[in-house]
Amino acid sequence: MANEVFPIKSKRDYNKFIKALKPGRDRDLGQLGTAFGLRISDLLKFKIGELRGHKSITIWEKKRKKKRVITFSPSVLKIVSQLEGDDDDYVFASRQGGGKPITRVQAYRILNDAAKRAGIYEKIGGIGTHSLRKTFGYRLYENGVDITRIMSILNHSSERETLRYIGITADEISEAYESIEV
């Protein structure tokens, strides 16, 4: 069984993590991975021309075989407008050449190394490529997006599964109830 990975819940930790990623491809991986909420296999296959100059993208998710339309936020539009390379180049191109994207393993290394440099690796309790997708879901939840919408976006079968997936604990739910004053 693979090691469990977690979302980066603290905005401060997330910002430290992003700053620890090398500018360019690696930082784009962290930011676009979080902004799109895709599985790494879907994220790594993007070519520059599919993103640059567009306001959204339609993809077919590999695992669930479902169509997904992702509309770019202003910050994503800025990132994709600054992508360097030809339209046929991969956004996350391997530095080994051959016109291929980085592998899942390389993406994992990039993210882990950045988490360690940022000093958040131990605090998070495990980070990997799926941490970006979980962080995406957590940010939606934190921003007040209804859990059923998040469940639909992530293609989960229950609200409980989604809450567990994005790292919402029973203590956090209790704190929410305790915060209500009537």
Residues with catalytic annotation? 39, 63, 130, 133, 156, 165
Question: CA gyration radius for the chain?
Answer: 17
- Please count the other Cβ atoms lying within 10 Å of the Cβ belonging to residue 120: 20
**Is 120:13 a contact under the CB 8 Å cutoff?**
yes
Core vs surface per residue 69-92: b (16+ CB within 10 A) or e? ebebeeebbebbeebeeeeeebbb
CA angle 74, 134, 79 (to 5 degrees): 25
Per the document, the length of the chain is 182
DSSP structural state of residue 82: T
115 burial level (CB within 10 Å; 0-12, 13-18, 19+): buried
